[in-house]
């Protein structure tokens, strides 16, 4: 088997800033297409079905993230382990980690599909989803979760490619599936009038295609990371390493998503117009914070490979560059949304009240985008160093416990929806402070070792 590196990229050599940017840009473009992928349902349903259907789809993010975020966290942990072995050129261990990750994803994704279909109505009622959109929301979520295994496996496959320094292949696959998703959305919703169910079916079909493309390619390439069906099984040693790094990330994502469900439920209590307007802004927010997420993933890979290769000074310089770049780009995106919010929200729905809520949410949050970018990028650095429990405790404490306490105390006192919006910049500020103190107090380059 060849040790070819036509696809994988060694991030332990070459200009640091250039390498991080070259790795991050395809990630960013891929995440942009992922948001187009997600926003297609919102735009097309909002234009062709109506406000109530828009509200049903617009509130989907928090629930979907809640149920899949733990698996995505484990995928991130797997990427860190694969990157570390790749940087250290321990290819046997790297292959065992890759095949263990795939086996775990197949099992966990199937369980998640059954669980998601079963508990969707319960969670939607807990989120105070209005009865006017309950039936549509249940239909959309059940179809989505029936095919959630494809989403899990695509993300695992893409994470393996990224761990090996390749962020371009996942981008190409995602572009193809995004185009198909939009075409199918238009066909099922606008032409065949299948409503919100048609949008969900289009999403599942497109996700399935992206999964097939990723693994078809991984199984055909003659390289050290080639995937073989015969090798797909659980290796307990490597699963322990994956879970040790990935489970804290998954728990963090899950609990933070749970807090976002609480936030969404408070928004829902202001009615379906608030749901629609804030749901539209949340799609814009998803685009604006893509640089933060992209740099976080890039820094995890960069730091992990360089620690594996014992290039510690290079890991430090890369971390500093990524933090500054993520903050600058995210804040520029926030400034743009602040001024263009009426037009951007209006793209999803032209109801003046929907636009008013969306603009109100945007202008109370976007000024603090540099803070969330810093928190995400720093979490990426620490995960790459094998210290995923630290960002877990910080994010859970700040973005979940503190955020929920703020809302639960302030909403009964004020009955002002802006209080819900303020919970974001307040908790971002606290997390930045704690992560910065930790970063400068601990020897993060040597503390998180694989065992």
Q: What secondary structure does DSSP assign to 364-385, as a single string?
A: TTGGGHHHHHHHHHHHHHHHHT
pLDDT in tens, 144-154: 889 989 988 98
N-term to C-term CA, the chain: 27
pLDDT in tens, 354-407: 899 999 999 999 999 999 999 999 999 998 888 888 888 998 899 889 998 999
Q: Are 154 and 207 in contact (CB under 8 A)?
A: yes
What was the pLDDT predicted at 321? 95
Average pLDDT of the chain is: 85
Q: Give the integer Cα–Cα distance in Å for 446 and 76.
A: 20
What's the mean pLDDT in 13-26?
89
CB count, 10 Å around CB of 139?
17
Specify the range with the lowest mean pLDDT, choosing from 48-62, 79-93, 216-230, 245-259: 48-62
What was the pLDDT predicted at 53? 65
What's the mean pLDDT in 414-429?
92
What's the mean pLDDT in 22-30?
85
Q: Which of 131-135, 279-283, 289-293, 431-435 has the highest mean pLDDT?
A: 431-435
What was the pLDDT predicted at 433? 96
In degrees to the nearest 10, what's the CA dihedral of 15, 18, 20, 23?
-120
- Identify the residue with better confidence: 164 or 73: 164
Specify the range with the lowest mean pLDDT, choosing from 38-52, 132-146, 362-376: 38-52
Specify the range with the lowest mean pLDDT, choosing from 62-66, 96-100, 264-268, 349-353: 62-66
Q: Are 358 and 267 in contact (CB under 8 A)?
A: no
Element (H, E) at 432: helix 417-441
Which residues are within 8 A (CB) of 170 and not within 5 positions of it... i.e. 6 or more apart?
Answer: 26, 30, 157, 158, 161, 162, 214
What was the pLDDT predicted at 212? 92
What was the pLDDT predicted at 4? 41
Task: Specify the 3-state DSSP secondary structure of 33.
Answer: helix
pLDDT tops 50 at residue 2: no
pLDDT in tens, 120-129: 888 777 766 7
Using N-to-C axis directions, what is the helix angle for 312-346 and 16-48, rounded to 10°?
A: 20
Which ranges in 269-289 belong to alpha helices (H)?
A: 272-288
Q: Which residues of 33-49 are buried (b: 16+ CB within 10 A; e: fewer)?
A: bbbbbbbbbbbbbbebb
Specify the range with the lowest mean pLDDT, choosing from 35-39, 55-59, 291-295: 55-59
What was the pLDDT predicted at 6? 44
Q: Give the integer Cα–Cα distance in Å for 38 and 203.
A: 8
Q: Could you tell me the pLDDT band of residue 59, with boundaries at 50, 70 and 90?
A: low
Widest distance between CA atoms in the chain: 66
| Percent of residues, the chain, with pLDDT higher than 70 | 90
Specify the range with the lowest mean pLDDT, choosing from 363-377, 407-421, 427-441: 407-421
pLDDT in tens, 91-120: 999 999 999 999 999 998 899 899 888 988
Q: What secondary structure does DSSP assign to 100-154, as a single string?
A: HHHHHHHHHHHHHHHHHHHHHHHHHHHTT--HHHHHHHHHHHHHHHHTHHHHHHH
pLDDT tops 70 at residue 294: yes
**Residue 165 DSSP label:** T
CA distances from 368 to 182, 330, 394, 426, 432 (A): 32, 9, 18, 9, 11
What was the pLDDT predicted at 33? 78
Helix%, strand%, coil% for the chain, nearest 5: 85, 0, 15
pLDDT tops 70 at residue 54: no
Which residues are within 8 A (CB) of 345 and not within 5 positions of it... i.e. 6 or more apart?
Answer: 277, 280, 281, 284, 354, 355, 358, 359, 362
Q: Give the integer Cα–Cα distance in Å for 120 and 122.
A: 6
Q: Could you tell me the pLDDT band of residue 5, with boundaries at 50, 70 and 90?
A: very low
pLDDT tops 80 at residue 409: yes
What's the mean pLDDT in 309-320?
92
What was the pLDDT predicted at 364? 94
What's the mean pLDDT in 11-28?
88
What was the pLDDT predicted at 275? 83
- Identify the residue with better confidence: 9 or 220: 220
Which residues are within 8 A (CB) of 343 and not within 5 positions of it... i.e. 6 or more apart?
Answer: none
Q: Give the integer Cα–Cα distance in Å for 209 and 102.
A: 17
pLDDT tops 70 at residue 23: yes
pLDDT tops 60 at residue 326: yes
Q: Could you tell me the pLDDT band of residue 3, with boundaries at 50, 70 and 90?
A: very low
Q: Give the integer Cα–Cα distance in Å for 296 and 379.
A: 7
pLDDT tops 50 at residue 233: yes
pLDDT tops 50 at residue 160: yes
Q: Give the integer Cα–Cα distance in Å for 34 and 36.
A: 5
């Amino acid at each position: 088997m060849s040790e070819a590196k036509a696809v994988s990229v060694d991030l332990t050599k070459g200009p640091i800033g250039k390498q991080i940017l070259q790795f991050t840009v395809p990630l960013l473009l891929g995440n942009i297409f992922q948001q187009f992928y997600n926003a297609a349902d919102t735009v097309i349903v909002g234009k062709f079905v109506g406000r109530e259907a828009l509200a049903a789809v617009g509130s989907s993010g928090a629930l979907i993230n809640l149920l899949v975020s733990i698996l995505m966290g484990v995928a991130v942990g797997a990427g860190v382990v694969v990157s570390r072995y790749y940087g250290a050129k321990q290819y046997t261990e790297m292959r065992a980690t890759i095949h263990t990750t795939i086996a775990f994803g197949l099992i966990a994704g199937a369980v998640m599909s059954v669980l998601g279909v079963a508990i969707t109505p319960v969670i939607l009622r807990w989120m105070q989803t209005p009865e006017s959109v309950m039936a549509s929301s249940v239909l959309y979520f059940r179809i989505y979760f029936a095919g959630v295994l494809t989403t899990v496996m695509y993300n695992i496959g893409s994470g393996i490619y990224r761990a090996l320094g390749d962020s371009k292949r996942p981008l190409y696959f995602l572009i193809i599936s995004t185009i198909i998703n939009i075409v199918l959305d238009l066909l099922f919703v606008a032409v065949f009038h299948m409503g919100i169910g048609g949008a969900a079916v289009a999403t599942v079909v497109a996700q399935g295609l992206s999964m097939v493309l990723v693994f078809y390619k991984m199984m055909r390439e003659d390289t050290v990371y080639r995937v073989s069906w015969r090798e797909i099984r659980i290796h307990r040693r490597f699963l322990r390493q994956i879970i040790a790094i990935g489970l804290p990330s998954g728990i963090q994502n899950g609990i933070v998503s749970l807090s976002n469900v609480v936030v969404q439920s408070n928004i829902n209590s202001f009615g379906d117009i608030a749901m629609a307007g804030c749901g539209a802004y949340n799609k814009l927010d998803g685009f604006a914070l893509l640089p933060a997420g992209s740099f976080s993933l890039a820094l995890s890979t960069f730091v992990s490979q360089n620690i594996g290769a014992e290039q510690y000074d290079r890991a430090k310089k890369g971390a500093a560059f990524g933090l500054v770049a993520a903050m600058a780009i995210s804040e520029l995106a926030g400034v743009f949304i602040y001024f263009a919010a009426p037009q951007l929200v209006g793209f999803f729905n032209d109801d003046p009240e929907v636009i008013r809520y969306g603009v109100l949410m945007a202008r109370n949050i976007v000024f603090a985008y540099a803070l969330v970018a810093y928190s995400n990028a720093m979490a990426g650095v620490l995960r790459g160093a094998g210290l995923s429990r630290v960002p877990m405790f910080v994010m859970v404490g700040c973005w979940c416990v503190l955020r929920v306490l703020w809302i639960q105390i302030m909403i009964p006192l004020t009955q002002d929806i802006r209080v819900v919006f303020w919970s974001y910049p307040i908790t971002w500020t606290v997390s930045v402070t704690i992560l910065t103190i930790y970063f400068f107090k601990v020897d993060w380059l040597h503390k998180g070792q694989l065992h």
